A and B are shown apart, each in its own frame.
Chain A
Amino acid sequence: MARKSFFKRITLWRYLFLTACFITVIGNPFANYYWDVNFIQGWFQSIGIGNLWVVSPLEGLESILTAKFFYMPSLVGMVIPVTLAFLMGRVFCSWMCPVEFLSLLTDKVLGLIPKWGNSLKYRKDLVRFAKYTLWFALVAELMVTMVIGYPMFVWWSPPGLVGRETMFYVFYKHVTVEIFIVIFVLLLNLITRRMFCRYFCPLGAILALIGKRRQLVIEYDASKCVGCKICDKRCPMGISPSVGESQSVYCWNCAECVDVCPTSALNFVWRDRGFITLPKGSKQGSAV
């Protein structure tokens, strides 16, 4: 099937893109420190590429909430990620986040172990919570932030920590204790695949929230489905595309199911033919 191999390339692109993003974030401190190349600064809390500034929505929001002060560049910096999430959902998570890269990497490395490697790689999820645990994570995060009065996620966000620890290592030749947060998040993967991303990442939650009415979704064509459920097994987020859950808010558009489906019953589509239309009968619009 020619169509399938094309989509296979999309999954491959995801891996390549993830790797490229990871290398950028990891390599950047080296460029800054050893070669004085300052074109790119920062990591996924805020990254500056020349004059293009990108600010992560959750961290930016926390900063505004705690300081009660609007700063234009940080609002402008949030436009790109918010637009991206609005149109394509959690693509940051599945296509850019260094934690996802490391999770994938550990998956692949574990898969190399001959005996129980394969059973580790796509093993059953040992612990499952209700999917909406994610929202509690977001609410709890914002609550704690506002009670303490200091932004919290900025210092423990695993995607940010990957960049920060590298920078610490390059600039000051030591790493800080926060690196255990990243290790812990990766260890959680052994219990349930992408456990942290599924249930506990407030950044993932806010991106999902923004992308609730996203345009890019994975469409499930029931007439083509032969009920093999390979996609359910493959989905890193524990969603069941085989019952149409791929359009739910919890899907992060990673295309693993699209790639694995033998009958091409799952495909990326632009919802509503690519036009942004409001849900029928909704008066409040898509403000949520």
Chain B
Amino acid sequence: MEKERKTDRREFLKVTLGAFIGGALFSSCSLSDLKNPKTMVKSPIKTNVLRPPGAVPEEHFAQKCIRCGRCGEVCPYHCIKYFDVKTGGVFSGTPYVDVMEKPCYLCMKCVYVCPTGSLVPCAKEEVRMGVAVINRQICVTWQQDKTGLMCKTCFNVCPFSGVAIKIDHDFRPYIIEENCTGCGICAYSCIADTYPENNGKKAISIQPIKWKKIKQIKLEDIKKS
């Protein structure tokens, strides 16, 4: 009995040591550091498909998130969805918000349940899921000479209207990128797709921030602290 215990312990030491040495070796040169994100594993985050509020930068998101689904279960609007292995590969199980299907209403419930800090608690104004981009060729107000319409829908629905989205003297909307949260409410509500010549296209899309240089991304600061 006693002998058995001893061999047991030796076996354990071997296994644990093996795990830690191997781990130390491998983690110091793990592929994720070497790889070119574009060729190795492509993030499924793209236009209008964004991480929920408070998400750490995309390079780290799939590493931190433990796919527990708590963010999605707590979201009262059910706007958080999850990639599966077909759509996401190694990103499978991580949350996303498809703003064209359902935008985020910035209730900020999800960020407070994330156990891993993949979603960092932050104020509504600090959310940077992406940034809204208005396609002026499609917006009926920007084309008012042609369409004769003056729509202010996006301005009206934006939770930070007048701050994130403004209206110029011709009532044409434009985005203040530093203040836009990327919640997608404007894109979701845009009425441009009902105008016959637009072939069902919306005038606003939300671009992930990595594609769009924004001077001040407050989340970076939060993550470092």
| Residues of A bordering B, CB below 8 Å | 28-29, 32-33, 36, 38, 41-43, 45-48, 53, 55-56, 59-60, 62-63, 65-69, 71, 73-74, 77, 132, 135, 138-139, 142-143, 146-151, 154-155, 160, 163-164, 167-168, 171-172, 176-178, 209, 212, 244, 248-249, 279, 288
B76 interfacial contact with A, CB 8 Å: yes
10 contacts between A and B (CB under 8 A): A43-B68, A73-B115, A74-B66, A143-B23, A146-B26, A149-B31, A150-B62, A151-B63, A248-B4, A248-B8
Contact size range, B: 35 or more
Closest to A208 in B: B12
Q: Of the candidates B26, B32, B64, B90, which one forms a contact with A143 in the assembled complex, judged by CB atoms under 8 Å apart?
A: B26
A167: chain B residues within 8 A (beta carbon): 69, 72-73
A interface footprint on B64-84 (CB within 8 Å = 1, 0 otherwise)? 111111101110101001101
In the bound complex, CA of A172 to CA of B92 (Å): 15
Say what secondary structure dominates the interface of chain B. Answer: helix
On chain A, the residues within 8 Å of B74 by CB distance are: 32, 38, 41
Q: Which residue of A lies closest to B62 (CB)?
A: A150
Measured CB to CB, the nearest residue on chain B to A76 is B115
Given A36-B76, A43-B69, A177 contacting B84 (CB threshold 8 A):
yes
How near does chain B come to A258, taking the closest CB pair, in angstroms? 19
Contact present for B66 and A151 (CB under 8 Å): yes
Q: A91: shortest Cβ distance to chain B, in Å? A: 20
Q: Is B68 within 8 A of A45, CB to CB?
A: yes
Inter-chain contacts of A43 with B (CB < 8 A): 68-69
Which of B13-21, B167-175, B180-188, B196-204 is near enough to bind chain A?
B13-21
Task: Given A69-B60, A146-B23, A164-B67, verify A177-B85 contact (CB < 8 Å).
Answer: yes
Bound complex: CA of A41 vs CA of B22, how far in Å? 35
Contact indicator A74/B116 (Cβ below 8 Å)? yes
Q: Contacts A150-B32, A154-B66 given: A288-B90 contact, CB under 8 Å?
A: no
Q: B215 at interface (Cβ–Cβ under 8 A)? A: no
User: Known contacts being A146-B27, A155-B85, is A135 close to B70, with CB within 8 Å?
Assistant: no
By a CB distance below 8 angstroms, the chain A residues around B67 are 45, 154-155, 160, 164
A42 touches B16 (CB 8 A): no
Contact between B116 and A71 (Cβ–Cβ < 8 Å)? Answer: yes
Whether the Cβ atoms of A38 and B15 lie closer than 8 Å is no
Contacting residue for B30 out of A42, A63, A149, A212, CB 8 A? A149
What is the CB-to-nearest-CB distance from B10 to chain A, in angstroms, rounded to a whole number? 10
Shortest beta-carbon distance from B33 to chain A in Å:
7
Q: Taking the nearest CB of chain B, how far is it from the CB of A211, in angstroms? A: 12
Nearest-CB distance from A176 to chain B (Å)?
Answer: 4
A209 touching B16 by the CB < 8 A rule? Answer: yes
Residues of A within 8 A of B23 (CB): 65, 142-143, 146
- Please give the distance in Å from A165's CB to the nearest CB on chain B: 10
- In the complex, the answer to whether B73 meets A67 with C-beta atoms within 8 Å is no
Complex Cα spacing A209 to B20, Å: 14
Chain B residues with CB under 8 Å of A55's CB are 66, 115-116
A146 CA / B22 CA spacing, docked (Å): 9
Chain B contacts for A142, CB-based, 8 A: 19, 22-23
Given known pairs A155-B93, A168-B82, the reply for A67 and B13 (CB within 8 Å) is: no
User: Which single residue of chain A is at the shortest CB-CB distance from B12?
Assistant: A288
Q: How far is the CA of A143 from the CA of B69 in the complex (A)?
A: 25
- In the bound assembly, the distance between CA atoms of A28 and B69 in angstroms comes to 12
Residues A244 and B1 in contact, CB atoms below 8 Å apart: yes
What distance in Å separates the Cβ of B149 from its nearest Cβ neighbour in chain A? 36
Interface: B9 (CB within 8 A): yes
- B19–A171 CB distance below 8 A: no
A248: chain B residues within 8 A (beta carbon): 4, 8
Chain A: minimal CB distance from B204 (Å): 25
Please report the C-alpha to C-alpha distance between residue A38 and residue B71 in the assembled complex, in whole angstroms. 10
Report chain A residues within 8 Å CB of B27: 65-66, 68, 146
- Beyond A148-B90, A167-B69: 12 further Cβ-contacts under 8 Å? A46-B115, A63-B64, A63-B66, A65-B23, A73-B115, A139-B15, A149-B63, A154-B93, A155-B67, A160-B67, A177-B84, A288-B12
Our pick among A66, A132, A164 for the contact of B93 (Cβ within 8 Å) is A164
Q: Which residue of A lies closest to B19 (CB)?
A: A139
A288 — which chain B residues lie within 8 A by C-beta? Answer: 9, 12-13, 16
Query: How far is it, in angstroms, between the C-alpha of A69 and the C-alpha of B4 when the chains are bound?
Result: 39
Q: Per a CB cutoff under 8 Å, which of B62, B66, B72 touches A171?
A: B72
- Could you tell me which residues of chain B, from 34 to 75, have a CB within 8 Å of some CB in chain A? 35, 41, 60, 62-70, 72-74
Measured in the bound complex, the distance between the Cα atoms of B13 and A36 in whole Å is: 48
Smallest distance from the beta carbon of A218 to chain B beta carbons, Å? 14
CA distance A178 to B81 in the complex (A): 16
